[in-house]
Amino acid sequence: MSYNKIDIKNGITLHSINTNKFKTNLCSVFLTFPITYENATKDTLIALMLKRGSKSLKTREEITSKLAELYGAEFDSGVEKSGDNHVLKFYLESLNEEYLPVKEELLEKSLELLLELVFAPNIENEEFNEEYLEQEKGNLEQIINSKIDNKAVYALNRCIEEMYEGKPYGIYRYGYVEKIKEITAKNLYEYYKDLISKCKIDIFISGNNQNIVESLKSNEIIEKLNAREADYVKHGSYSNENTEKLVEEKMDISQGKIVIGMDLKLNDDNSKYSAQVYNTILGGSANSKLFQNVREKASLAYTVSSNYMKLKSNIFIRAGIEIDNYEKALEIIKEQLQSMKNGEFTENEMNQAKRTLIATINDIPEEQDLDISYYYGQELSDKKTTIEAYKDHINKVTKEEIINVANNININTIYFLRN
């Protein structure tokens, strides 16, 4: 496997991951730009509308037929938050040409189709198709309203909203129902054109792709895209300076949800590796302190874990509990945080955590979408670390560094969803 990064134009980058490991080629286009309350809803509608038709393929049915011609290729899109950025992601997966009955330029055709779907939408009279837009506005309203259906995810989002109130990271990634009615076929297309002219564009191609670079450079759609000083956020804002802000919300539920949002006030690169080991010991595996002490020994939680969000330097503890167990569960969770500060973890716990992390890192090159996400993360952080160097950094983390992480963490917000 080899990875190469090529600047096609200023602000437009090709990431070539050349490998024969897979039976498929995966092409992706990521559009990255700052997330705002005003535009988050439009961003999601653009992702939905681009799946409905392109300049030459006017309907979803025509897109499906074209994908079938490409030996059952698959197209999808999504919307993510990455730090203080909004990212529109588009994927097209097709067969590796080595597995075709007759040799043809399937990768080139797949890439051409993906670029058309993203950059040459179905436009008439300088606006999106109004009928399609109304349908997608209805779909988006359902998506936004359904955010309360998964209570664990809802609780995490609400904790983030409280921690980052008034800041970009607190914005809901799909947008807001109250903004939908302001969007028209015309103003959405005007926004789309402005977005495409300014955003950071990353094109990823994973698979057997040795000859794709020149083909991409000469692609008619790429030739028409302007060079740009890419408009995206390299270093996002920190959370609000809360000190154990307590938020309770009531809902008709049978199981309570606790989310504890914590700030890690260390910014050097090495601390990010130490924080990953810290988090794995604390709540990142079935052997973790939270799992063993809150769930197994005290039987206070159905689920309990912690997650480290590297881009925002936050750790979130999440637990599903019997509502009456709130005070006791919170007490034992805080005991585990203090235990980590005191260095009350063994060499064996450290080594287990490292093995868990390294097993996860080893999985990265085994999945094309994980591989792409890994290199995209490096692109955003402007850090270049090979898989082997990444594992080496994890292995070199010391107990003192983990204790240092523990003592630079403070609880920002405690969110409790109850009945």
pLDDT digits (tens, 9 = 90+) for 181-209: 999 999 999 999 999 999 999 999 999 87
Alpha-carbon separation of residue 383 from 217, 234, 386 (angstroms) = 25, 11, 10
* CA distance linking residue 402 with residue 197, whole number of Å: 44
pLDDT score for 301: 93
pLDDT score for 383: 83
The mean predicted confidence, pLDDT, of the chain is 95
Over residues 148-172, mean pLDDT: 97
* CA distance linking residue 415 with residue 246, whole number of Å: 6
Q: Is residue 125's pLDDT more than 90?
A: yes
Burial (CB count <10 Å: 0-12, 13-18, 19+), residue 230: middle
Over residues 1-25, mean pLDDT: 93
Burial (CB count <10 Å: 0-12, 13-18, 19+), residue 82: buried
Over residues 32-57, mean pLDDT: 98
| Helices and strands, counts by H and E, the chain | 16, 13
* CA distance linking residue 99 with residue 89, whole number of Å: 27
Q: Is residue 217's pLDDT more than 90?
A: no
pLDDT score for 300: 94
pLDDT score for 399: 98
Radius of gyration of the chain (CA): 23
| SS3 category, 230 | coil
> What pLDDT digit, counting tens, does each position of 337-388 carry?
999 999 999 999 999 999 999 999 999 999 999 999 999 999 998 888 999 9
pLDDT score for 168: 97
The H or E element containing residue 95 is strand 85-95
> What pLDDT digit, counting tens, does each position of 374-398 carry?
999 999 988 889 999 999 999 999 9
Q: Is residue 401's pLDDT more than 80?
A: yes
pTM of the model: 0.95
Domains defined for the chain, CATH in brackets: 2-148+168-224 (3.30.830.10), 245-418 (3.30.830.10)
Question: What is the rounded end-to-end Cα distance, in angstroms, of the chain?
Answer: 52
Q: Is residue 210's pLDDT more than 80?
A: no
Are the beta carbons of 399 and 350 closer than 8 angstroms?
Answer: yes
Burial (CB count <10 Å: 0-12, 13-18, 19+), residue 364: middle
pLDDT score for 220: 95
pLDDT score for 173: 97
For the beta carbon of residue 390, count every other beta carbon within 10 angstroms. 18
Q: How many residues does the chain have?
A: 419
Q: Is residue 101's pLDDT more than 90?
A: no
pLDDT score for 316: 98
Over residues 274-301, mean pLDDT: 96
